[in-house]
Structures are given as structure tokens and as C-alpha cells.
Amino acid sequence: KVTVRTGEIEYAGTNSYVYCMLIGERGESQRISLDKYLQRDLHRGDVEQYDIPSDQDIGNIWFVKLEVTKYIVEDYWFCLSVLVETPSGETLHFPCYKWLNNCTILLREGTAKRLCDDKLPVFLTHRQAELEEKLKVIRWKAFSPNFPRCIDADTEEELPMDLKFSNEKSKDFTSSGILVFIDLFLKKFTCMFQDSWTSTEDFNQIFQDVESKASVFVKDHWKEDWFFGYQFLNGCNPVLVRKCEMIPKNFPVTDAMVQASLGKSKLKQEIKNGNIFIADYKMLDGIVANVIKGVQQYLAAPICLLYLDKQNRLMPIAIQLKQTPGGENPIFLPSDPELDWLLAKMWVRSSEFQVYQMVSHLLKTHLLAEVFCIATIRKLPSVHPIYKLLTPHARFTLEINTRGRNQLMPENGAMNRALGVGVQGHISLSQSEFLAITYRSLCLPESLEDRGLGDLKGYYYKEDGLQIWSAIHNTRAELCKFLTMVIFTCSAQHAAMNNGQYDWNAWVPNSPCSMRKPPPTSKGTVTMKDIMESLPGISQSCVQMAITWHLSRTQPQVRMLGDYHEEHFTEAAVQATIQEFREELAGIGRSIQVRNEGLDQKYEYLSPVNIENSITI
């Protein structure tokens, strides 16, 4: 008896001719059509049983053979799995989870097998044939020198069916894009009679319909120094700040400069006490700035010094906006005129926006995840335990990245329309940062250790991230560490980078996507007019709000971390381990919820209920 399961997603059913045969160690069964007379078969969500006769005892069943040929037109079938009940009462599970059309496929029983576990030539031949077929259709492409390689597909239409969005996901992506366009138009329409704004409060005109409580909190507190420091730990980019072991030679901060912040203490003593931290944007030095609609944009490469005060707040105490010290590159201080200090912080936040979007988010989650996805598909047969482990974390990633290259990076794409770095600046920045990536930097415990942040309190990205890392980590030490890094990158790290985009960036003055005037070269001269002429214009601000909403909104058909909807693993022991993993994640979620009840600004991005299994947006 054979039970055939068809997927529940749109268009999963088929009118194609489908035939099934069992192949065993002693021979083959009869070939039957999966088409019951006058009955509906293989439609969306169907679970159908069939009897497959055999003229002989075929022994242990090695493969389920499925043949799919078109009826009149091309008509894909999404087969979930085939269950086989033998005459002795044994039930065998043959996972599929593939779109099938005009093809013949041999499904193996679901028990995970390494190469060394397969002794029979027939299984070794099957493994090799599967890999050879995948190598033909999944190919590498060099996007740019010193850049992560990507899938060889110019558009999402060129991707194999199994790597594409579901129809529901595709329709939602398109419709949300239309909503973004409408929102952009309406925001611009409300400001159509203004050439520019005169104060930061004018940004309220495009902020009126914002429902995010976190975004409203940002708007209310963005000017405050404690909140500026807080964002280094729990904002969109909590991976740059590090403990300061020594003041850099190109950042000549003196005790006199920071006396108002440190009181009677000295810099050297506070560094020794572990209370001085630094955020250095040297990677932006020399990057060519964008030109938007004929208007030159500007970049800075700031260095920001922060002090962990007695209230456990990370407070900015000195900001230098360029890497080379000098008379026209002053060190700005909290004791400076209010607008001088505000503009200096804005420059840091704008630099943060560039590095966060291009490096921490795009390069170190999306593009690295694409490399992991392609390598997994090309080099591991579907019966391999690591393929089974990683494949849920590759879902939809290749299509979202392919769309990103087509929609964000062209000359008329969102990147060139809004960001200070632009496309060419992005490539230069990503090339240098890609070459600087180390394995340790991708492993959360080691990254935190190397940045000296292991003991820092109120660092919720660290606290929650380490819990998720530990939950994923529970096998063989070094292999487990590598696989944990891959899964964490494709799930939790992306959630931490992506999910708060709108929360932190909807109030544009807090995170300007670009700056329209060069950094100030002296103190005591900044006016509100200078600030408003530096901040993004109306059009850029609308684009920033629209794009960050589009990229961080709740997605359809989400599968959260621990949701292994497709049963690639069929062994009872593995299913028990997966259930233990889910229970551990649920416990982490409860502890985060309790912690957040006492916080004014909740940190929820690494709650397991908000972590998608893979990068799909």
C-alpha cells in the first residue's frame, strides 16, 4: 500500500500523468498509474492511497520511482512524500518535497545516510547521479571580484522551480511593492507644496501613520545621548561596537576633553576598568559617495568613543567625523553647542545606516547565506544528514537575493535613489569587508569575546543571541560549531539585522540614509538650517521609510526557527531531538517575554517566535 501526499500550497496539484513503481533488492513492482477511475487525484492537499501489485517478493525496498509526464500543457506537481506499507506491516517514509514535471525521480527512504553509510553500489550510483544533475542546474556566478559568488540566474524566472517563491509568497511580494509605491506617492503628495523642511519636527508630516511603538519611542528619544548609545547594543546593528583597549593614534582624545563626562576619573583608568567602548567606521574612509538626481551626497568615516556610566548606560563622550585628525576635523563633545553635538551624532547614525545595510545585513547575512545555500545543494545529496539539517534554512533565499540584485542594485534601483554609498560605493565597501571576514567573526560567542563584550549588561542582542546559539549547538564539537554558524546566520542573525529596520529607521533624523552636505569642519557654527540641508530630502526620506517597511514587515507563509514543516528527517530519534529543540526555544521565548515586561523599549527581534528559519526577505 502506497500513500501519496500532495502539497497544500497553491498550484501544488497536477493534471499530469503520474506513475509509481517500487524498486527493491530483488526486483521491481508493477508500474501503476496514480489515477483512480472517475476520481480526483493528486490535487492540492490530497492524501491518496494506492495498491501496488508485484509478481514477486522484491525484498527490502530501495527506491520509490515516480514518473511525471504532461497531459496537455506543462503542469508541475508538488509531491510532499510517499509512504509505503509493506506486506509485513513495516511503514517506510520516502520524503520528496519537490516540484516535479516531465521527469523521473528515484526517492530514497528517509533515514539519513552519510557516504560511508552507503555500502551498496546502487546507492553510491544514485548519490552521484543526483549530484551530477544538480551541478547542471545550480551553477556559481561571479558577481564582482572579491565578492561572494552567487547563483547563476539573471532573474528569478531563471531559477529552478524548487528554489522559487511559492505562488502565495510571490503575489504578496508584488502586492506589498505596490503598497510601497502608493505610500511613497501619498507621502510625497502631502509635501508637494514644500521645497524643503525647516526643522526636524517637519518629518512628522510623513510619520503620521506609523503604528510601530518602537518607532514612536525612537522619535521621542532620538536626541538623547543614552538612547544614542543604547542603539549600539540593541538597535539594528549591534555588532560594531567594541571595548576600547587603547585610544587610536588618529583619534587624539584628551582627558580634558572628556572630563565633563568622566568626572574625576581619567581615560586611562576607565579603559583599565573596562568602561570605555568605541565604534569606528574606518571602512567608509575613501568610499565614493553617491549622486542622487544630480545632487552630490556625502559620507563620513567617524570614530565614536562611549563611556559605560554608573547607571549602566553607554554614553557618547567624543566624536571625530573623519579618520585623519587635524584642524578641520574637530573632536565633538557633549559640552559643545547643542546643534554641533546633534549634527555630529547624526553623522554617526548616517554612517551606521550605510554599514548596517551594506555590510552587517546584506553582506554578512544575505550574501553569505546564499553561498551556504548553493554549496549545500551542489555538494550534498538529499539523503545526507547535513543536507536534511540545512535545507529548511535555505528556503526562498536564492530568489530574494536574485530579486535584490535586480531591484535594489540597478542604476535606477532603491540603493541609488536613497543611500549615501550608492551602488558603486556599496560594491567597494562590500569588497573590502568581505576580504576582512573571519570565521570567528561569524560565530557569536567568539565575536562577542573578540569585541570584549561578554560581560556587558543590558546587551539584549548578546543575551538572547547566545541562548539561540546554544539551542542550535546541541553534536560533534567542530562540525557542530560550523553548522551552528550557518544556521544562526540564516535565521537568528538575519532576524536581528532585518526585523527592526522600520522600528529604528522610520524616524529619518535618527538614521539618515544619506547626508547632503559635507561634515562640519569647525565648532560653533552649526545652525538648524545646516542640519536640515544635511538630512535627506523629502523624496529620499519617503524612500527610506517605504523600503524599510517593505523589508521588515511580517511575511506570509513564514516558518519560524524550529518549524521543520517538511519532514526530511524521518527517524524517531531525530524527531524527538527536534521536539526538544522546539521546547528549548519556547523556554527561551518565555524568558525573553518576562525580561521585556520590565523594559521601556522591548528587545524582541531574537525571540524565537520572530526568527524565521531562513532568509526570505
* Feature table: binding site: 13, 35, 75, 361, 366, 494, 617
C-alpha to C-alpha distance for 408 and 400, rounded to whole angstroms: 11
SS3 content of the chain, % helix, strand, coil (to 5): 45, 15, 40
**Contact (Cβ atoms closer than 8 angstroms) between residue 10 and residue 166:** yes
Close Cβ partners of 209 (under 8 Å, ≥ 6 residues apart)? none
**Residue position matching grid coordinates 554549496:** 375
Find the helix or strand (DSSP H, E) in which 588 lies: helix 572-596
Q: Which residue numbers belong to the known binding site for Ca(2+)? A: 13, 35, 75
**Residue position matching grid coordinates 547643542:** 338
C-alpha to C-alpha distance for 609 and 499, rounded to whole angstroms: 12
Q: How far is CA 586 from the centre of its chain?
A: 21
Please give the span between the terminal C-alpha atoms of the chain, in angstroms, as a whole number: 41
C-alpha to C-alpha distance for 41 and 51, rounded to whole angstroms: 14
Cβ neighbours of 473 (radius 10 Å): 16
Give the CA dihedral 579, 580, 583, 584, nearest 10 degrees. Answer: -140
DSSP conformational letter for 235: S
**Residue position matching grid coordinates 557633549:** 334
Q: For the chain, state the CA radius of gyration.
A: 28
Q: Per DSSP, what are the bridge partners of residue 278?
A: 242, 305
C-alpha cell at 274: 573596562
Taking the CA of residue 251 as centre, how many other CA atoms within 13 Å lie in the half-sphere pointing to its CB?
22
C-alpha to C-alpha distance for 535 and 201, rounded to whole angstroms: 13
Q: What is the side-by-side strand order in the sheet with 2-6?
A: 47-50, 2-6, 77-85, 91-100
**Contact (Cβ atoms closer than 8 angstroms) between residue 430 and residue 358:** yes
C-alpha cell at 299: 559620507
C-alpha cell at 311: 547607571
**Residue position matching grid coordinates 508541475:** 76
Residue 125, SS3? helix
C-alpha to C-alpha distance for 554 and 468, rounded to whole angstroms: 21
Residue 77, SS3? strand
Long-range contacts of 473-477 (CB under 8 A, 24+ apart): 474/580, 474/581, 474/584
C-alpha to C-alpha distance for 332 and 345, rounded to whole angstroms: 9
Q: Which residue numbers belong to the known binding site for Fe cation? A: 361, 366, 494, 617
